[in-house]
A and B are shown apart, each in its own frame.
Chain A
């Protein structure tokens, strides 16, 4: 069943996408279908609704699911949006069932959008071979190498297609968005914020991969998606991007479990990012949390601090 956009929005017609389509004439039908969403599930949660939708993605050229949490405030007012990027092997489900974000989102009146971590079912050879490359490991880049470059365009999906889709279908304040994520998603959040100065009102991360060009995960993924020319990798490395950043002031909150096995395996490398940010005077508060690991138990423990951090800027 396809739900038309109007049934999901408030009466004053926030479906700017729909209105734009009307004026486009003959192409409007196909465009409208591209903006169309299919609701997969809906559960009442913390006074609002945790929903999952599916759509045909233009960038990724496949069906994609994403989760949306609508706080109680969304019934009457437009709300700011927090984009959450999950880590390796995750789908849109992990965050909404394990992170405990809904209560804080409801309290602060924030919509949280959580996409999947890669295109799925594209039938690319080798996509399911490793858990840290291919399916579930999009690394939020736009691939330039075959056979990945047609579908693996997560960077554009997250920064372009998804926000347009969200703004067309939900009661949002389009200029009030922020971004966060965990591990590979933390890397995604940092690079999106650094590559789009002024676009995101706030950014935070849990155990992010801070310097992918220097760690095994990053080298494997970038090598596969971007080729062997390392200079092309730097455009997607938070530490490198921070060193060259110029734009409106950021305020980055990072939580890292001290007992995180990937920290000790030198996959995350937060010290490199901190050193660069200290040098470049980019405000970061980095908290090393004793006893915590890499799991969603760790994320759950500090999620409300992060949402408060985002709310400060989104609701200002």
Chain B
């Protein structure tokens, strides 16, 4: 069979790859010079032709295979372009929608403002009109009265009444009439603050995450016994910082349980090609590539000291960890077994809009919770996890509420009231800090359930411990107002006295054994706050109160000393009889 393609050369298919697919022009096979076939006579010629044909055929087969590969390649490119387009379009639409929304909001605000201004101007003018009218009426009345008197026939009566009228007219004439307008006629035009709109517009041109690179098919003779050269390409205007190449051997027998997956090796690469070495001979490998740039976001950072929990829930707080805007956060949690191993099941809560999340949990378990930040580039890596145990109620102090004279231990559970005088400069602090009572609040999880914690004190410590509303007055003493309830210990000449204060009132109690470890039990539903001597399991007192809002544990030291909070303790049975 002869391959006759006329005399054309083929178009070169080059698509900016390092290794382009080459198609060389096929050489024309020269036709037989004589034009006559002398098959039987020219055996050698026939054999020669045959071998030539075979070689041509082989070459052609090769070319066909190459073309098929290339066609497949083109398909991939086609799909990638579609994808990219789709993403860009969506991205653009969303961004412009946001901008339009903001602008429309601005417009509404300005229009409302203008309307307000108009109303007030009109009111002022109207009032002025009214008073002018009144002045006018008064003058008219006066003139008429004067005229009437003038017309009085009786001269004596006239003389009597004319003087006061003259006086009145004189006074009236002296009054200056306000003839200037009370308001300006022009409207003020404030310069529009559209800086955030500008930022939004600018960010439209932010770099999108790069699309997936495409690995080129393996070239023949590009592998040795133990190494392999891989090339890939990127078919868009993406900006890429670096590539990650992953590879792992494909095992003949895939294990039944699928757990012993072969090890995946990663190589970070700046170029679009890489030579992989140390491979096993006669093995098949699976390779894939990812491209990374800065559009992705960093993981959030959980704020350990601001996480609180109770038997039924946990409140996790974190920092965004990003300067770029974050769209939302995803919280992931998995339970830990009793032997400390992490469960494979991970639950997630998506589309968390702010940097905190209240999660419902089961009591008496242990969890690992982490957070991912999500933006247009996708989710970030997992943050460092926080460990939550739902045995008992757990909380730290709210450090910003501490009176300046209080210092907190490293572990965050002991407060100290030192003897030293603090300089005045240290006194001017947070709005939320206590200023007279040397007190601090705890950060109790806002869940209306039962909570229990214990406070350890020294024999000689004068303290107040209990609960208070978050907005309790910082310039007042705990228990003196209606927003706090506390047990107070006073030591007077080695005699212990106790008060259970709320709104400045306390019942009259004597307690014979001084408690050094006090259990505090809060029950929102029943509306009770109880105190116990933990060592004796002795009940001391219960407040009956209706908590209209959430309360925070409160602690204060009335003389230099310290106290330590113990929590995450399961409430003893007798505390909630």
Asked whether A285 lies within 8 Å of B538 as measured between CB atoms, the reply is yes
Contacts A312-B574, A316-B574 known; A285 to B536 CB distance under 8 Å? Answer: no
Min C-beta distance of B402 to chain A, whole Å: 32
Residues of A within 8 A of B507 (CB): 287-290
Shortest Cβ gap from B513 to chain A (Å)? 5
Contact present for B533 and A274 (CB under 8 Å): no
Instruction: Assess whether A164 is interfacial by the CB under 8 Å rule.
Output: no
Please measure, in the bound complex, the distance between the C-alpha atom of A284 and the C-alpha atom of B496, giving whole angstroms.
13
Are B512 and A282 closer than 8 Å at their CB atoms? yes
The answer to whether the Cβ of A251 comes within 8 Å of any Cβ in the partner chain is yes
Which of A258, A277, A283 gathers most chain B CB within 10 Å? Answer: A283
B508 and A288 contacting across the interface, CB-CB below 8 Å: yes
Pick from A258, A281, A286, A289: contact of B510, CB under 8 Å: A286
Docked-complex contact A290 and B533, CB < 8 angstroms: no
Contact A311–B533 (Cβ < 8 Å): no
Docked pose: A114 CA to B118 CA in angstroms: 84
Q: Are A283 and B533 in contact (CB under 8 A)?
A: yes
Chain A binding surface SS class: mixed
Give the distance in Å from the alpha carbon of A239 to the alpha carbon of B383 in the complex. Answer: 65
**A36 smallest CB distance to B (angstroms):** 37
Q: Is A278 in contact with B512, judged by CB distance below 8 angstroms?
A: yes
Q: Judging by beta carbons under 8 Å apart, are A284 and B509 in contact?
A: no
Measured CA separation A253–B542 after assembly (Å): 14
Judged by a CB distance under 8 angstroms, whether B345 is at the interface is no
User: Contacts A308-B577, A311-B577, A312-B577 known; A281 to B539 CB distance under 8 Å?
Assistant: no
Within the complex, which residue of B508, B536, B540 is in contact with A290, where a contact is CB–CB below 8 Å?
B508
Measured CB to CB, the nearest residue on chain B to A242 is B512
For B422, list chain A residues within 8 Å (CB).
none
Question: Which chain B residues in 512-538 approach chain A with CB under 8 Å?
Answer: 512-513, 533, 536-538
**Residues of chain A contacted by B574 (CB below 8 angstroms):** 312, 316
CB-contact partner of B538 in A251, A287, A308, A316, under 8 A: A251
A309 touches B508 (CB 8 A): no
The reply to whether B508 and A274 form a contact with Cβ atoms under 8 Å apart is no
Contact A284 B512, beta carbon cutoff 8 Å: yes
**Does A97 count as interface, using CB distance less than 8 angstroms?**
no
Q: List the A side residues contacting B541 at CB < 8 Å.
A: 285
In the assembled complex, the Cα of A290 lies from the Cα of B507 at a distance in Å of 8
User: A232 an interface residue at 8 Å Cβ cutoff?
Assistant: no
B510 near A274 with CB under 8 A, answer yes
A249 within 8 A of B: yes
Q: B511 at interface (Cβ–Cβ under 8 A)?
A: yes
**Which residues of A lie under 8 Å from residue B508 when comparing CB positions?**
258, 287-290
**A285 with B539, Cβ < 8 A, contacts A258-B508, A274-B510, A277-B512 known:** yes
How big is the A interface, by class?
A: 20 to 34
Q: Are A249 and B536 in contact (CB under 8 A)?
A: yes
Q: Do the beta carbons of B536 and A283 come within 8 Å of each other?
A: yes
Collect the chain B residues with CB atoms within 8 Å of residue A287's CB: 507-509
Q: How far is the CA of A278 from the CA of B508 in the complex (A)?
A: 16
Chain B 498-514: CB-based contact to A (< 8 A → 1; otherwise 0): 00000000011111110
A312 to B538, CA, bound (A): 10
Q: Which residues of B contact A258 (CB under 8 A)?
A: 508
Q: How far is the CA of A310 from the CA of B511 in the complex (A)?
A: 18
What is the distance, in angstroms, from B482's C-beta to the closest C-beta of chain A?
20
If A249-B536, A309-B539 touch, does A284 touch B577 (CB 8 Å cutoff)?
Answer: no
B509's partner among A282, A285, A308, A311 (CB-CB below 8 A) is A285
Known contacts A308-B577, A311-B577, A316-B574; decide if A286 and B538 are in contact (CB<8 Å).
Answer: no
Chain B residues with Cβ under 8 A from A286's Cβ? 509-512
A312 to B496, CA, bound (A): 26
Bound complex: CA A113 to CA B481 (Å) = 44
What's the Cα separation between A281 and B537 when bound, in Å? 15
Within 8 A of A (CB), among B425-445: none
B533, A284: Cβ atoms closer than 8 Å: no
Which residues of chain B have C-beta atoms less than 8 A from A253's C-beta? Answer: 539
What residues of A have a CB within 8 angstroms of the CB of B513 in the complex? 278, 281-284
Residues of B within 8 A of A249 (CB): 536
The answer on a CB contact under 8 Å between A274 and B536 is no
Please name all residues of chain B whose beta carbon is closer than 8 Å to the beta carbon of A289 when the two chains form the complex: 507-508
Q: How far is the CB of B514 from chain A (nearest CB, A)?
A: 9
Is A281 in contact with B512, judged by CB distance below 8 angstroms? yes
Q: How far apart are the CA atoms of A278 and B536 in the complex, in Å?
A: 14
Complex Cα gap A285–B515 (Å): 12
Complex interface bits, B20-54 against A, C-beta within 8 A gives 1, otherwise 0? 00000000000000000000000000000000000
Q: Which of chain A's residues has its CB closest to B495's CB?
A: A278
In chain B, positions 465-509 with a C-beta closer than 8 Å to chain A are 496, 507-509
Cα of A289 to Cα of B511 in the assembled complex, Å? 15
User: In chain A between 289 and 316, which residues have their CB closer than 8 angstroms to a CB of chain B?
Assistant: 289-290, 308-309, 311-312, 316
CB distance A285 to B577 under 8 Å? no
Cα–Cα distance between A253 and B510 once the two chains are bound (Å): 10
- Within A224-258, which residues are at the interface with B (CB < 8 Å)? 249, 251, 253, 258
CA distance A103 to B142 in the complex (A): 87
A4 smallest CB distance to B (angstroms): 38
Report the nearest A residue to B507, measured CB to CB.
Answer: A287
Which residues of B sit under 8 angstroms from A274, Cβ to Cβ?
510, 512
Smallest CB–CB gap between A71 and chain B, Å? 16
Q: How far is the CB of A301 from chain B (nearest CB, A)?
A: 13
- Where the two chains meet, the residues of A that have a C-beta atom closer than 8 Å to any C-beta of B are 249, 251, 253, 258, 274, 277-278, 281-290, 308-309, 311-312, 316
- Add 6 more A-B contacts to A283-B533, A289-B507 (CB < 8 A): A251-B537, A283-B513, A285-B509, A290-B507, A309-B539, A312-B537
| A-B CB contact pairs (8 Å), 24 listed | A251-B537, A258-B508, A274-B510, A277-B512, A278-B513, A282-B513, A283-B512, A283-B513, A284-B510, A284-B512, A284-B513, A285-B509, A285-B538, A285-B539, A285-B540, A285-B541, A286-B511, A287-B508, A288-B507, A290-B507, A290-B508, A312-B539, A312-B574, A316-B573
Instruction: Give the top 3 A-B pairs by smallest Cβ distance, nearest first.
Output: A288-B508, A286-B510, A277-B512
